[in-house]
Amino acid sequence: MANDQVILLDYWPSMFGMRTKMALAEKGVKYEYKETDPWVKTPLLIEMNPIHKKIPVLIHNGKPICESLIQLEYIDEVWSDASPILPSDPYQKSRARFWAEFIDKKFYDPSWKVWATMGEEHAAVKKELLEHFKTLETELGDKPYYGGEVFGYLDIALMGYYSWFKAMEKFGEFSIETEFPILTTWTKRCLERESVVKALADSDRIIEYVYVLRKKFGAA
């Protein structure tokens, strides 16, 4: 689209922002990245996301689109000529939406509580997280990507969390490669894509960040 103005309000460690960055890169969309600390509610953030006041916010020609999964669908619909993100078949699309929602509704909570909790709660959280990893690995099966032969929506949804895998492993005291080899192979395949690599934060930097957060959460 000629004269498109695309801005992304994002925060470097956000797994949700990483999704949107991947999708924009997959479509070859140029955009302006604005680092936005979600704990500091800037006037622009409040104006663009008055309901949730969270990042990422995609601003396309001045209009805000909030919520990362909604942003992915929007990007797919607006820049529909470039490689598709969602399947065209309604049933396959419904399955992609279902699993993306599973990631945000079920996987998300234990994925951060595993480094933010201690004791009995931590043990329960770790168990839950491992179960969800297993569920996601089972859904992948022997396909190269979640959507089949082509990298897409669900791969983007889960790879957004990839930068945090190392922190989950460290504080959860488990190895993803050992426990979930099929999922590991999939991550390596995804990491061959420039759109993915450029969107992801450095895992070690995330671990440093987690140490800071753990102090805030009183888990240290």
Partner 1 sequence: MANEVILLDFWPSMFGMRTRIALREKGVEFEYREEDLRNKSPLLLQMNPIHKKIPVLIHNGKPVNESIIQVQYIDEVWSHKNPILPSDPYLRAQARFWADFIDKKLYDAQRKVWATKGEEQEAGKKDFIEILKTLESELGDKPYFSGDDFGYVDIALIGFYTWFPAYEKFANFSIESEVPKLIAWVKKCLQRESVAKSLPDPEKVTEFVSELRKKFVPE
Residues that bind partner 1 (CB under 8 A): 51, 60, 63, 65-67, 70-71, 73-74, 77-78, 90-91, 93-94, 97-98, 101-102, 135
CA nearest neighbour of 183 among 173, 199, 171, 169: 169
d(CA 217, CA 203) in angstroms, rounded, equals 20
In angstroms, the Cα distances linking 172 to 130, 163, 202 are 9, 15, 19
CB of 12 to partner 1, least distance (A): 24
Looking at beta carbons only, is 5 or 175 nearer to partner 1?
5
Looking at beta carbons only, is 2 or 51 nearer to partner 1?
51
Looking at beta carbons only, is 92 or 185 nearer to partner 1?
92
CB of 90 to partner 1, least distance (A): 4
HSE-up of residue 113 (Cα within 13 Å, Cβ side) = 17
14 is in an annotated binding site: yes
CB of 51 to partner 1, least distance (A): 6
Looking at this protein, which amino acid is placed at residue 77?
Answer: E
Give 65's contacts (C-beta < 8 A, 6+ positions apart): 57, 58, 59, 71, 74
176 is in an annotated binding site: no
73 is in an annotated binding site: no
CB of 10 to partner 1, least distance (A): 17
55 is in an annotated binding site: yes
54 is in an annotated binding site: yes
In angstroms, the Cα distances linking 178 to 175, 181, 182, 203 are 5, 6, 10, 18
41 is in an annotated binding site: yes
CB of 148 to partner 1, least distance (A): 16
Strands 32-35, 57-60: parallel, antiparallel or unpaired by DSSP? unpaired
d(CA 192, CA 176) in angstroms, rounded, equals 19
Looking at beta carbons only, is 99 or 180 nearer to partner 1?
99
Residue numbers in the known binding site are 14-15, 40-41, 54-55, 67-68
Annotated binding site for glutathione: 14-15, 40-41, 54-55, 67-68
